[in-house]
Homo-oligomer: A and B are copies of this chain.
Amino acid sequence: MSRKTKELVVEEFRRASIEDAAMQAIARKGIEEVTIQDIADEAGVAKGTVYVYFRDREELLARTADRLFDNLIAEIEPSFCAPGGFGVRLRGLALRQLLFFDEHKALFRATMALWQRESDPRKSRCVARYLGLLEKFFGDAVAKGDVRPDLDPFMLAAVYRDCIRGVILRRLDPNSQRLRNDAEVDAELLVSILLRGIQAGDQS
């Protein structure tokens, strides 16, 4: 390993440590309230050190969001090409996503907070990639005739995302003790609504 490469590896390691600390701190205090000092404390470094690796608060938060969504995407990507029909894949996708946040409860506030920044002009690269994957998934399903042809894949992706986000928020909100189910049950309920609708009478 050359000297140059070694330096880069160390630098990347430090950067990743600070991003991890940022996730924890954001999970604890929320993205608006978290301070650079919080993140530095969590990472066990001085505030100035943060500015060695990141230009400013904005860059740090953007990089942290990217890291978080990279993790999420790595987790759910296998669902898109899993064996089975569209319904099975969709159920697997929803389940994996719910389990991811059950597993990383501490990160949900961070993800949600960062998620909602998508209307920001400086859109996150990874949020766009996440939406793109969903859009392709639904687009393929439309092409294969698994989904009604009158629905736009982008809109389908958006509706799915709205619903799964809501379920995750409800699952993790300590205030609402109602509807606290197994992830399998929640995933099944959501997918059955999306696939068959809520109307009574035509359970084929």
A156 at interface (Cβ–Cβ under 8 A)? Answer: yes
A85 to chain B, nearest CB (A): 11
Interface residues on A, range: 35 or more
A148 at interface (Cβ–Cβ under 8 A)? Answer: yes
**A197-B200 contact in complex given A159-B163, A163-B163, A189-B151, C-beta closer than 8 Å:** no
What mask results when residues 125 to 142 of chain A are scored 1 for a CB within 8 Å of chain B, else 0? 000000000000000000
Query: In the complex, A199 Cα to B191 Cα: how many Å?
Result: 11
- In the complex, which of the residues B119, B147, B201 contacts A169, with contact meaning CB atoms closer than 8 Å? B119
- In the complex, which of the residues B32, B148, B204 contacts A198, with contact meaning CB atoms closer than 8 Å? B148
Copies assembled = 2
Query: In the complex, A189 Cα to B158 Cα: how many Å?
Result: 13
In the bound complex, do residue A199 and residue B196 qualify as a contact, i.e. CB atoms below 8 Å apart?
Answer: yes
A155 at interface (Cβ–Cβ under 8 A)? Answer: yes
In the bound complex, do residue B166 and residue A159 qualify as a contact, i.e. CB atoms below 8 Å apart?
Answer: yes
A135 to chain B, nearest CB (A): 10
Chain A residues engaging chain B, CB cutoff 8 angstroms: 32, 87, 116, 119, 121, 123, 145-149, 151-152, 154-156, 158-159, 161-163, 165-166, 169-170, 173, 175, 178-179, 189-190, 193-204
Beyond contacts A148-B199, A151-B198: 18 other A-B pairs, Cβ-Cβ < 8 A, are A116-B116, A119-B175, A145-B200, A146-B200, A151-B193, A154-B178, A155-B179, A155-B189, A156-B198, A158-B170, A158-B179, A159-B190, A161-B166, A163-B163, A193-B194, A195-B198, A196-B199, A202-B204
